[in-house]
A and B are shown apart, each in its own frame.
Chain A
């Protein structure tokens, strides 16, 4: 199981270590540093590194490497999932997960890590349970604690720890009872030179924020549940009911949680919201290159495309770019060669464009690589797969909750090849 954890910052210093079994010398991280040196980019460090006596499994989050040390055969996904949970917990507790935040709260961090893992076995990873065991630091609580001498460690066994609904604590009380659901879809797509779609898929999630008193039992049904044939549920969802009736039935955790994530990969169901016309060309022997880019809406179901951001890694040979945007602003970083254009909203009547020239190093040959264009965008009030919630009902409690559902489509890894 998980032996030890080292936290390494961007400059390659270990700033925290925690051991759950015997102490492993931090020199074991030398193997990790070797791999770090070899990697061209920080994110190119291989996730699993073998050393003569240990295995190092690492994830990079918020510019911190979380390096877990294991000694025996342990499923790597188990370790990675656990590390993700650690990151989420830190973020949950301290608002941000940075070196400074961790150092500021080092004792809480230590208490948390001790609570999350026992002898390498996960103990309590649900944020509900953890928060009952160790109260998150707030300014008010710190002040109160200093005056009264009370602690931020819970004295009682968390109620959720062993119940059948470990994700929910008992005795929840709210004056305003509300349940909000966000259906968020991200389109991943690769579009080729000619504008045809090579692959396109939708990663969807339903995130919920439920603040309801007592032990509510919710059911959520969809207008078109057939869309969802590849789904992962929060443990609270009753799988049998879904299998039989295609209805989500669950006792929700308290607060924010991800109810469900799904995947739509069938090509004809994935609408492509924008198209790109581009002409990026270099002539042999000339030190100039042309750059032309026009964006337009494609399948948007009549909704506006907003917050559009276009970025592209131009070839290494490009010295500078002199471009003229019809709207928004652009920047070009001559060191990283990253061009980014903040377009804003697409107006179908007046399509945004970015045109101009690029200058190459004098005498340099025509660049070999074709830049890829990366697009980010948002469409409010639309789930592009067409998924729609039919109704939300609550059982088990008497009050009338306030309900809300919001849809949003974003571009995930949306790439256009040139």
Chain B
């Protein structure tokens, strides 16, 4: 008697028959009928029509029947909410049952019925069950809170279930603790900012105790929760590590990996010279190795995580290279991951072994894997300098096999090796040329053409070789066409006499017969360069290329740190921050590795990662959707209306044109050639050379703006009281959010010109170019008065300071807060949005000194309601020094009165948009607290004016 009979009822009237059976008097028949219904349900048949009949079977003392009915209810309650109410009474009754199994079952099932009306009835039974005497019921109820929260979050908060859940963390039963933690973690995921899991040393202690006694699944929840804790000092960190390490010997791989996460994160805080630190490092290796002997899918997840661990702490697995050797029957996804890790672990000590393995892989059957193995040899050559020669000879061996795809792949990597070690391995070119005819993939053809062009002077028949490619020029892919164009120009510059015809041919092919704008543009550029100034052409085209970087595929440090905090999660499998891809985890808080005590290096890095509470955090604008149209429509050319008069518009036009042209060139290079292929270095160098050649025209703009400002500044220093206060730069855009671009900045008013001082830092692995900036509409119409002057590409780890003059003639829209400014910065990678706040003193104009009579009249004129009072505390200046200081920021003192030892200063300020602000400041001798009364027709500015006072007086 098997259940498969339930599947065979396909005759007509099946539902009708089941209905009759469900209403039968015989218990056994009823049960069989419900089983049939469930069986139909599992294969996706619609049996919802039987709802009332099935629910009628619920009132039974037969537990199996009850469970079956519950299964049915969970599936269909949503489609029949009114009928589902019928079940409520039974649930409520069951929650009072003396058998804990039945109580738990009732509360568990009730939570699964996702019908709003039912949730109301659920609250009371749930409250009781959360305090039930039986831990089995309590632990089930804890999960039920998470279920209810998913259906109706507000209800859970209103009913205070969250607090009850928090109390359960201190429960005496470890299983209850684990489930409470799991439920809270799930709820916290949809409330990123709530302080649900408020971890303190006491709760941590409870969690660690429960960790030893709860089930394997509970251990995972607790460990993942522990990983979010930030220990106070290295001692606490060490004691947590000590109590977590036994988990590394657990049979469940998920427990092991969660424990690894906690240890990897907390060991960051331990001083490196501590004995325990070394012990811990040693303890981490064996469990990771053991994970690799598990089933392939476990291996895959483990390998993705080991990839991160190896990048963060290569020392852990540096002796374990052999476990990553590929077995021929590993699934392909495991093979590729192992290969990647082998390259990361490759060093001078083990390179011989690695190369022998890689060569072995190159004879395997799977083409994708073979290709990757050949590439890996190239990456080893670039990574381990001492082994480059060995790698090259291995590649040559492989080329001799004449296996088509092996040869092509080998040629692509040899080109990279040439770029890393120029003028070292050119002897192999002859061998490469022999295989010219077998190349049929664009990437391999492009690589070969690059090699021929680059070393044209050493290849006797370079012109013939290139000519042979030229014959089918139009059938080639763009990548090959571009490469061929550059290579022939190089050849011409090296051997001008014999190749004139060839170069003319290619230039005309590229410019006249091609529809591809990239190709045409590059063709024209070369043509003009060659025809106007061959010497310059040589400098540009044959310029020395930057060496390619060691490892182009390393994960950026900031991202790596974040991913280390997410070991074992989906994020770690995809190597993306969780915020980037997991739905439902809106606004996940960025986790970071704690700083090591007393270590400067990591203290600095934590500074970057953390938006400290003291400084105003740079609010990154959440999504593009929130932005107004004009911000999205980021255009490089500034609107002419905002061009300040100091810059002749003619020059602007010229600059724009050039900028655009260069842009498109840059664009096509990186797009079609992927940045590291032949043409780009020469073009990159060409661009690099351009500013040097034309400093007068290109560099003029910043010189004008900045120079003028400087002049004024100088004037200010001599004739006027001290200049206005400039706040230190704060970080506005974190490198993490800016794909490696970090922006910090401040605002200054120098000689009547508003300037935004920016520091751009490239923390990514690639060069950044094409910077542009735009502001959203804001309260005072601030807008860039010129383009962002970053002309040279920003190479990795480079920092550049830029001053951007601002005008106040941009579009106006009131912001909240008033001084909020939303900025978009673009570069070749993406567009980034952030917002910052500027001090209002930026907008205080120089002619803000009001006539005394007018002042009196205006003061009276402004209604009393508009007056705001403030206290400025802890200022130890006398009234004269204070008024001098304020005048530097264009707050002018019009009159001073002294009444009963109290100095009263009357001051005026005018904003760029013509709003006047009047102030009365009382200074009592001996009292460091000043009283400030501000009157203005637009009272919302008073608060910000007060902040300016405070800022100026305190600095």
Interface residues of A (CB under 8 A from B): 1, 14-23, 26, 40-41, 43-44, 46-48, 50, 53, 55, 57-59, 71-78, 80-82, 84, 100, 103-108, 110-111, 114, 118-119, 121-122, 125-126, 142, 146, 149, 151-157, 161-162, 164, 166, 188, 190, 192, 198-199, 201, 203, 229-235, 239-240, 243, 258, 261, 263, 265, 313, 316, 368-370, 372, 374, 413, 415, 417
Contact = CB atoms under 8 A, between A and B. Distances in A.
Given A73-B578, A154-B63, 18 more contacts: A19-B75, A26-B44, A47-B300, A50-B581, A72-B189, A73-B189, A75-B220, A77-B253, A104-B2, A106-B7, A106-B38, A121-B217, A155-B99, A157-B101, A162-B136, A164-B213, A369-B363, A413-B327
B286 to A, nearest CB: 4
Given A44-B332, A106-B6, A1 B213 contact: no
B322 A198 contact: yes
B468 interface: no
B108 A370 contact: no
A111 B360 contact: no
A77 B570 CA distance: 9
Nearest to A147: B28
Contacts of A106: 3-4, 6-7, 38-39, 42
Interface in B531-585: 568-571, 573-574, 578, 581-585
Contacts, number: 251
A1 B220 CA distance: 12
B870 interface: no
B528 to A, nearest CB: 48
Contacts of A76: 301, 568-570, 573
Interface in B244-277: 246, 249-254, 256-258
Contacts of B328: 313, 372, 415
A105 B360 CA distance: 48
Contacts of B44: 14, 17, 26
B419 interface: no
A78 B578 CA distance: 17
A339 B493 CA distance: 60
A258 B62 CA distance: 36
B143 A157 contact: no
B403 A73 contact: no
Contacts of A239: 246, 249
B175 interface: yes
Given A230-B286, A233-B251, A59 B143 contact: no
A107 B331 CA distance: 34
Interface stretch (B290-298, B651-659, B790-798): B290-298
24 contacts: A21-B147, A23-B78, A44-B331, A46-B300, A48-B570, A71-B583, A73-B189, A74-B569, A75-B254, A76-B573, A78-B220, A80-B298, A84-B295, A106-B42, A107-B35, A107-B38, A107-B68, A121-B143, A125-B215, A162-B175, A198-B357, A199-B323, A230-B290, A232-B249
A315 B135 CA distance: 62
A161 B331 contact: no
Given A146-B1, A263-B293, A417-B360, A73 B571 contact: yes
Interface of B: 1-4, 6-7, 27-28, 31, 35, 38-39, 42-44, 62-65, 67-68, 71, 75, 78, 99-101, 108, 111-112, 114, 134-136, 140, 143-144, 146-147, 150, 173, 175, 179, 182-183, 186, 189, 213, 215-217, 220, 224, 246, 249-254, 256-258, 286-287, 289-290, 293, 295-298, 300-302, 320, 322-323, 325, 327-329, 331-333, 353, 356-357, 360, 363-365, 401, 403, 568-571, 573-574, 578, 581-585, 588
B254 A81 contact: yes
A81 B252 contact: yes
A199 B325 contact: yes
Contact of B71 (A114, A199, A413): A114
Given A21-B150, A231-B249, A47 B584 contact: no
B217 A43 contact: no
A146 B28 CA distance: 8
A104 B217 CA distance: 30
Contact of A142 (B1, B67, B252, B286): B1
A313 to B, nearest CB: 8
Contacts of A146: 1, 28
Given A162-B135, A198-B322, A235 B216 contact: yes
Given A19-B75, A43-B331, A149-B27, A53 B583 contact: yes
A104 B3 contact: yes
B885 to A, nearest CB: 53
B147 to A, nearest CB: 5
B215 A122 contact: yes
A153 B189 contact: no
Given A50-B581, A103-B3, A265 B323 contact: yes
Nearest to A143: B1
A263 B248 CA distance: 13
B949 to A, nearest CB: 47
Contacts of A258: 251
Contacts of B258: 75
Contacts of B147: 21, 119
B293 A201 contact: yes
A286 to B, nearest CB: 18
B42 A17 contact: yes
A149 B403 CA distance: 71
Nearest to A23: B75
A203 B75 CA distance: 44
A154 B298 CA distance: 34
Given A156-B99, A232-B251, A119 B286 contact: no
Contact of A110 (B7, B71, B220, B332): B71
B96 to A, nearest CB: 16
B101 A75 contact: no
Contacts of B186: 1, 72
Contacts of B68: 107, 111
Nearest to B179: A121
Contact of B254 (A78, A153, A368): A78
B217 A125 contact: yes
B223 to A, nearest CB: 10
A417 to B, nearest CB: 6
B63 A153 contact: yes
B584 A71 contact: yes
A72 B290 contact: no
A103 B111 contact: no
Contacts of A21: 112, 147, 150
Contacts of A23: 75, 78
A312 B189 CA distance: 51
Contacts of A230: 286-287, 289-290
Contacts of A316: 365
